[in-house]
Every structure is written in C-alpha cells, then in structure tokens.
Amino acid sequence: MENLVTQLASYYKNKKIFITGHTGFKGSWLLALLYNLNAEIKGYAMEAEYIDGLYQILQPNLNIQSVIADIRDKKKLQHEIEIFQPDYIFHLAAQPLVRRSYEIPAETFEVNVIGTANVLESVINLKNKCTVVAITTDKVYENKEHHSILYNEDDLLGGYDSYSASKACAELVVSSFKNSFFNIQNYDTHQKAITTARAGNVIGGGDWNKDRIIPDIIRALKNDQSIDVRSPNAVRPWQHVLEPLIGYLLLGGILNDDPHEFSKPYNFGPLPTDHLTVKELVEIAINTWGNGQWKDVSDKSALHEAGFLKLSIERAQKDLNWFPKLNAEQAIEWTINWYKQPAEKLAAYTFQQINNYFKL
C-alpha cells in the first residue's frame, strides 16, 4: 500500500487537477482517489444524471471546485481551464453508452469528438506545464469478433456503432493535436504532454446508467424481479473501476516526469486469462447478493453490440508497472457489496474500498 500511495502522492499532492466528467461514474471515483491524495481539484461536467449516483453521495464530503457546464461550450471550457492553470487534465466527459449512441448518433459524435478537441484547444493557451490524459475506450479497435485476439495499442482503430466510432475519432483528434500543437520534439517550448488511455468494461459502486449490466442487475434484484440478460454469451474485459483509474493516475504522473518516453496510448484491462461471459457475471452477482434469478432475452434483431472483446495490457505492465489487483470475480463481489450498503454509509464505504484496494 505504502509504495503505491507514496508514488501517487508524489505526483498529485497539492497539484491542480482539472477533471472533465467529474459528475459521472468514473469521474466520481477519480475525485475520491485524488481527494485522498490531497490534490486541488476542479471539475467540469453536466449535472449528475442520477440523484442517487456516486457524485451526489460524495459531493457533501468533498471540498472541490465544481463547474456545471457543457463540454461543447468551448468559450466556457477554455475560460475555466485558463483561470485554473491545471498541472494535469483528465478528460472523461463523454456520451458513454453504446445503445444510447443509436438514439443520438450526431450528439454522440459532438460530445466525444468535438468535446475532446475543445479540451485540447484550451490547453494550447496555457502558459504552465500541463499533462493531459484523455480517456477513450477498449471499443476504439476494429473488432474482428474473435475470442483469441488480444487488441494492443498499435492495432487498427475502427468502430461499428456511433459510440465506438466517436471514440476512435477522439483518438485521431488527440493524435492530430499532439503532432500539430504539442509535438514531443518541441516539448521544452510548449511543456504539454498528451496521451490516451483505453479501458474495458468497468464496474463498481455508484453506477446507475441505463443499459449497463450492473445497474440493470441491481434494479432487478432490489425490486425482486428477474434480470433480463441480452447477450449471456458475450465476453467482456470486466474490471473494477479502481483498476483503470489507478492506471490513469500512474500514466499521468509518469508521463509528466518523462513525456518523451510515455506519450503513447495505453490499454488497461484484466489479465488475458480473466475474461468472463455476461452469464458468468450475472451468476456471481446473484450469488453475492444472496438471491435472484435471470432470464435470456437475446434478440437477433437487436442493436449491434460486440460479442468478443479482449485487450492486451502488456504495455501498461512493462512501462508503468501497473497490474490488476482484483480478478473478475472479486471485482463483481466488490461492486455488489457496495450496493448492499445502507445509503447513509455509502460515502464512507467508497473510501473504505479505496483504502482496501491500496492494501492489496
């Protein structure tokens, strides 16, 4: 615990951290982590979508600056970044749902692509040194739908649906800004280091998004209803939310120290032998909850979602000394146990899980 905490504190203690998407599921957990590290935090995001989401639970306990605004409002975003003069930016703001992207495809591209460009354009005018980690997704790859393929950071980008394609486009935006405005050869002049991080199917407490498996499971279990499972045989790189977030923080700190070596994309996911089907996840969740049942509601005419998707994490292991600490079954158990807590204890339990993670 002490080594990892000490390392992260050396990067972020008393540093100014600007987080886009801080009211979302992953953004809220990142807030909690950075708050534990005594960072000075400013968030920029839309209002939290769910009143019982993690941000609403944690917000009374956190002394941070919070700006409620749209990532597409470039003037507002630029103003908030420039007056804060951050040491680091973690860009998480996004339209993050595959199925919703079928309903609002153009808006998905606006938020995920133009929003990313707005963040990076705002960085151009910063006078201070700044390191930016833009969060995309495992779905940026051209997916061959084969169970034996582990996608690495040099594989072709693609995207079947609007969400996946928009995130692949965001990767191209980052690459363009890196070449055009933040070329590593001129780092001593501009002092800006930029990279992307790609994570798989992240689970954890406080997520209430529609059409996500864990929130769907919890809603059904709390209402004594059967869990509808759309794709029971689909394989996903399940990981607890703390796993990639620690990876992002390690990446940001190491990149800040050595931008010439680490200014490249990184995958964060489970070990290659630790991928479960949706059916396996649901059954572990039911067992952890203590009761429940599920039913297969597969529909061949339904909206396309990837059947097989696995990541290679060798680069993060080698370069960052980052390794997942929880296997998929433990990640599911930690997640379900969070939802089993009484409402008044959820904030404390969140920080307890963070501390327990650091002890692993």
Q: Give the tens place of pLDDT for each residue, 248-300.
A: 999 999 999 999 999 999 999 999 889 889 999 999 999 999 999 999 998 66
pLDDT at position 143 is 83
Residue 73 half-sphere exposure toward CB, CA atoms < 13 A: 13
How buried is residue 321: exposed, middle or buried, by Cβ count under 10 Å (0-12/13-18/19+)?
exposed
The DSSP secondary-structure symbol of 205 reads T
- pLDDT, tens digit, 9 for 90 and up, residues 174-185: 999 999 999 999
Residue 208 lies in a domain: no
Residues 98-117: what's their mean pLDDT? 95
Scanning the structure block, which residue is given the tokens 């969140």?
350
Look at residue 99 in the predicted model and tell me its pLDDT. Answer: 86
pLDDT number for residue 50: 84
Would residue 121 count as lying in a domain?
yes
**Position 302 in a domain:** no
User: Quick check: is 279 in a domain?
Assistant: no
pLDDT of residue 301: 54
Per-residue pLDDT tens over the stretch 18-35: 999 999 999 999 999 999
Dump pLDDT digits (tens) for 187-215. Answer: 999 999 999 999 978 999 999 988 789 99
Specify the number of domains making up the chain. 1
Rounded distance between C-alpha atoms, residue 230 and residue 274, angstroms = 21
Q: Is the pLDDT reported for residue 170 higher than 90?
A: yes
Strands 16-20, 88-91: pairing kind:
parallel
Percent of the chain with pLDDT over 90: 83
Confidence class of residue 346 from pLDDT cuts 50, 70 and 90?
very high
- Decide if pLDDT at 332 tops 80: yes
Q: What pLDDT is attached to residue 96?
A: 87
Q: Is residue 303 part of a domain?
A: no
- Residue 339 inside a domain? The answer is no
Confidence of residue 225 (pLDDT cuts 50, 70, 90): very high
**Half-sphere exposure of residue 151, counting CA atoms within 13 Å on the CB side?**
29
Does residue 206 fall inside a structural domain? no
Q: Per-residue pLDDT for 113 more than 50?
A: yes
126: CATH: 3.40.50.720
Residues spanned by the domain of 7: 2-200+237-270+315-328+344-359
As a 3-state breakdown, the chain gives helix, strand, coil percent values, each rounded to 5, of 50, 15, 35
pLDDT for the residue numbered 212: 87
CB 308 within 8 A of CB 19: no
239-252 mean pLDDT: 98
Q: What is the pLDDT of residue 1?
A: 44
E-only strand ranges, the chain: 16-20, 40-45, 65-68, 88-91, 130-135, 192-199, 202-203, 227-229, 235-236, 239-240, 266-268, 276-277, 294-296
Query: Which residues 6+ apart lie within 8 Å of 315 measured at CB?
Result: 152, 153, 264, 266, 267
pLDDT above 70 covers a percentage of the chain that reads 96
**Average pLDDT taken over every residue of the chain:** 93
In a domain, 228, yes or no: no
CA separation for the pair 199, 243 (Å, rounded): 9
- The whole-number pLDDT of residue 209 equals 86
